[in-house]
């Protein structure tokens, strides 16, 4: 197979890049060893950040988040739920941080309002709370969002090779377990696996400054909150409870790991999350989570996992571009910047259109056609059916 640009990784970054480039009229092929968003993107926390979480230590990322929060809400309203978010401080939290936080919201341009009657809005919050502020945090369903992004990319000419692992790269040839793809330019959007793709490409192997960082999330099988609840303190573990459909998801931890395929979770991690979460929502100490899941962040290297920036970086390795860092919230922006560099390299000087291109609610359309009884079965079926359709020529 011959293509202009081969994208390795069908996560948030790779899929938005496929859409961006195909809207510019560039021929792209997306390759993933799993299905759509089968890496970190399908196992995230579900929070479309307002940026508030980063105002104290990562202003660039905070500003990117609020801008992208607005854009994604406009282009993909079906996949985003405007729950709003609260940041709450409880007795014992550092009160001087509150002022710093509010200043940061102003500097980043994040709209906020102090909330007085918090317990009426969120009865499960601790009675020990001392301050609460509301911000435009939202909830995102990554499956509904990226089903639509992939579908729209396909409609504009993108090709998909899913369940196809890249084994080797030799010059402009990508050797997969199912055959070869010849490409003018390779994009390495393999998230936490990006260094291993980079190492296949070049013998000298450019050093990709990536810090794979595992995070655990606990799922409670009832909805405990209406808004996203965040602890008002510098980012730490067990700080966020996301209302996700009829569940609530508590997260998360942040531990640097060597190999994203061999990360382990201990009982202590889970206990620690529950203890930290209970300071904000005491009920969590009485409830048993229904299940847990985890994934690995492709963070840019920093001194430690919590203070590392959520900004991103593009590495130019000649006929391969590698992108690392960022958030799912900022994946459209990452793809836009990456596609600007990619299209310049292959002498196409068109501009990005993803900020104004509506994303179709394709999963609902497929699910409605295929629903057998209940809706959840419909969505699961619709997602795998879409993966098949994407791979037809
Ligand atoms: C615990 C946790 C919670 C998070 N919560 C949030 C949140 O609430 N909000 C938010 O905005 N962000 C969140 N993030 C961050 C966000 O999920 C990630 O930044 C984003 O999903 C990364 O997307 P990606 O496309 O770069 O990587 P991925 O989604 O990991 O995609 C990389 C793809 O490359 C493929 N691949 C790897 N190796 C090969 C190979 N050899 N051949 C072919 N394919 C290969 C993988 O299968 C994978 O699909 C969270 C991250 C973690 C870890």
For ligand 1, is residue 136 a contact (CB within 6 Å)? no
- For the chain, the helix, strand and coil percentages under 3-state DSSP, each to the nearest 5: 35, 25, 35
Same domain, yes or no: 108 and 180: no
Residue 8, H or E segment: strand 2-8
| C-alpha–C-alpha distance, residues 142 and 155, integer Å | 20
For ligand 1, is residue 326 a contact (CB within 6 Å)? yes
The preferred substitution site among 30, 40, 326 for testing ligand 1, maximizing ligand atoms within 8 Å of CB, is 40
Closest CA to 296 of 223, 375, 216: 216
pLDDT score, position 308: 87
The answer to the question of residue 25 being in a domain is yes
Is the separation of the CB atoms in 61 and 54 below 8 Å?
A: yes
| C-alpha–C-alpha distance, residues 244 and 141, integer Å | 8
The preferred substitution site among 6, 7, 9, 153 for testing ligand 1, maximizing ligand atoms within 8 Å of CB, is 9
For ligand 1, is residue 212 a contact (CB within 6 Å)? no
Same domain, yes or no: 261 and 241: yes
pLDDT score, position 354: 98
Same domain, yes or no: 148 and 135: no
**Separation of 123 CA from ligand 1 center, angstroms?**
34
Q: Is residue 267 classed as helix, strand or coil in its secondary structure?
A: helix
Same domain, yes or no: 234 and 376: no
The answer to the question of residue 76 being in a domain is no
Is the separation of the CB atoms in 253 and 266 below 8 Å?
A: no
For ligand 1, is residue 295 a contact (CB within 6 Å)? yes
The answer to the question of residue 382 being in a domain is yes
Q: Going by CA atoms, what residue is nearest to atom 49 of ligand 1?
A: 39
Mean residue pLDDT of the chain comes to 94
Domain encompassing residue 278: 81-139+211-299
Same domain, yes or no: 278 and 380: no
Residue 87, H or E segment: strand 85-90
Same domain, yes or no: 19 and 119: no
Number of domains in the chain: 2
pLDDT score, position 364: 84
For ligand 1, is residue 11 a contact (CB within 6 Å)? yes
* pLDDT-flagged residues of the chain (< 70): 203-206, 368-378
The answer to the question of residue 355 being in a domain is yes
The answer to the question of residue 49 being in a domain is no
Q: Going by CA atoms, what residue is nearest to atom 39 of ligand 1?
A: 33
Tell me which residue has tokens 């991690």: 269
**Separation of 259 CA from ligand 1 center, angstroms?**
14
The answer to the question of residue 295 being in a domain is yes
Same domain, yes or no: 111 and 149: no
Same domain, yes or no: 95 and 163: no
Q: Which of 248, 264, 299 is the last residue of a domain?
A: 299
pLDDT score, position 204: 59
What is the atom index within ligand 1 of the atom nearest the CA of 37?
Answer: 49
Structure tokens at 180: 């070869």
**Separation of 9 CA from ligand 1 center, angstroms?**
9
For ligand 1, is residue 296 a contact (CB within 6 Å)? yes
For ligand 1, is residue 33 a contact (CB within 6 Å)? yes
Same domain, yes or no: 34 and 155: yes
What is the atom index within ligand 1 of the atom nearest the CA of 197?
Answer: 41
pLDDT score, position 264: 87
Give me the count of residues in the chain. Answer: 393
What is the atom index within ligand 1 of the atom nearest the CA of 34?
Answer: 47
Residue 231, H or E segment: strand 228-231
pLDDT score, position 385: 85
pLDDT score, position 328: 98
Same domain, yes or no: 385 and 316: yes
The answer to the question of residue 292 being in a domain is yes
Same domain, yes or no: 355 and 287: no
pTM of the model: 0.96
For ligand 1, is residue 34 a contact (CB within 6 Å)? yes
Q: Which of 299, 322, 339 is the last residue of a domain?
A: 299
The answer to the question of residue 329 being in a domain is yes
Q: Domain holding 387: CATH number?
A: 3.50.50.60
For ligand 1, is residue 235 a contact (CB within 6 Å)? no
For ligand 1, is residue 188 a contact (CB within 6 Å)? no
Q: Which of 299, 323, 349 is the last residue of a domain?
A: 299
Same domain, yes or no: 276 and 218: yes
For ligand 1, is residue 17 a contact (CB within 6 Å)? no
The preferred substitution site among 7, 14, 39, 65 for testing ligand 1, maximizing ligand atoms within 8 Å of CB, is 39
| C-alpha–C-alpha distance, residues 28 and 233, integer Å | 43
Q: Which pLDDT tens digit goes with each residue over 199-212?
A: 999 765 567 889 99
Q: Domain holding 238: CATH number?
A: 3.30.9.10
């Amino acid at each position: 197979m011959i293509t202009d640009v081969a994208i390795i990784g069908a996560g948030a970054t790779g899929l938005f890049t496929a859409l961006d480039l195909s809207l510019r009229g560039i021929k792209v092929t997306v390759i993933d060893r799993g299905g759509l968003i089968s890496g970190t993107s399908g196992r995230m926390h579900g929070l479309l950040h307002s940026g508030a979480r980063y105002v104290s230590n990562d202003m660039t990322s905070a500003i990117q988040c609020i801008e992208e929060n607005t854009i994604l809400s406009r282009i993909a309203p079906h996949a985003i739920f405007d729950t709003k978010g609260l940041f709450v401080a409880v007795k014992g939290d550092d009160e001087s941080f509150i002022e710093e936080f509010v200043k940061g919201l102003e500097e980043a341009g994040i709209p906020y309002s102090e909330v007085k009657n918090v317990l009426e809005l969120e009865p499960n919050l601790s009675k020990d709370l001392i301050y609460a502020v509301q911000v435009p945090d939202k909830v995102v369903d990554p499956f509904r969002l990226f089903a639509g992004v992939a579908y729209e990319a396909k409609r504009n000419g993108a090709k998909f090779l899913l369940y196809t692992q890249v084994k080797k790269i030799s010059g402009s040839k990508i050797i997969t377990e199912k055959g070869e793809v010849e490409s003018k330019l390779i994009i390495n959007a393999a998230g936490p696996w990006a260094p291993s793709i980079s190492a296949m490409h070049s013998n000298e192997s450019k050093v990709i400054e990536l810090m794979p960082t595992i995070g655990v999330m606990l799922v409670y099988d009832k909805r405990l909150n209406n808004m996203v609840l965040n602890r008002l303190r510098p980012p730490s573990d067990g700080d966020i409870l996301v209302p996700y459909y009829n569940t609530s998801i508590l997260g998360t931890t942040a531990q640097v790991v060597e190999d994203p395929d061999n990360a382990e979770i201990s009982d202590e991690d889970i206990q620690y999350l529950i203890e930290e979460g209970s300071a904000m929502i005491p009920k969590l100490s009485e409830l048993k989570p229904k299940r847990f899941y985890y994934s690995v962040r492709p963070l840019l290297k920093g001194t430690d996992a919590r203070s590392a920036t959520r900004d991103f970086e593009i590495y130019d390795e000649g006929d391969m571009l590698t992108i690392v860092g960022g958030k799912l919230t900022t994946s459209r922006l990452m793809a836009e910047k990456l596609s600007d560099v990619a299209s310049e390299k292959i002498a196409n000087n068109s501009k990005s259109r993803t900020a104004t291109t509506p994303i179709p609610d394709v999963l609902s359309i497929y699910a409605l056609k295929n629903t057998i009884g209940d809706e959840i079965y419909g969505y699961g079926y619709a997602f795998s059916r879409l993966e098949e359709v994407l791979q037809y020529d």
